[in-house]
Amino acid sequence: MAASGKTSKSEPNHVIFKKISRDKSVSGAQVTIYLGNRDYIDHVSQVQPVDGVVLVDPDLVKGKKVS
């Protein structure tokens, strides 16, 4: 048999989950969330850390404080 060049332990696939929320009252305003995991488990005494990025349309927060 010829060697395929692949190892038995391949690197895991990194999947990014994307969710977009649009505000219909403001034209084109949206909040986009990119998450490393789809599900997060609440263990009552602790919650898994959220790994992701939130993008906010600047027109949506114009003149407002974002923290």
| Residue 29 to residue 10: CA distance in whole angstroms | 40
Q: Using CA of residue 58, residue 59, residue 63, residue 65, what is the dihedral sign? A: negative
Q: What is the mean pLDDT of residues 37-43?
A: 75
| Residue 23 to residue 29: CA distance in whole angstroms | 6
Is residue 31 scored above 70 in pLDDT?
yes
| Exposure letters 37-46 (e unless 16+ CB within 10 A, then b) | eeeeeeeeee
Interval 42-60: pLDDT, tens: 778 887 777 888 888 787 7
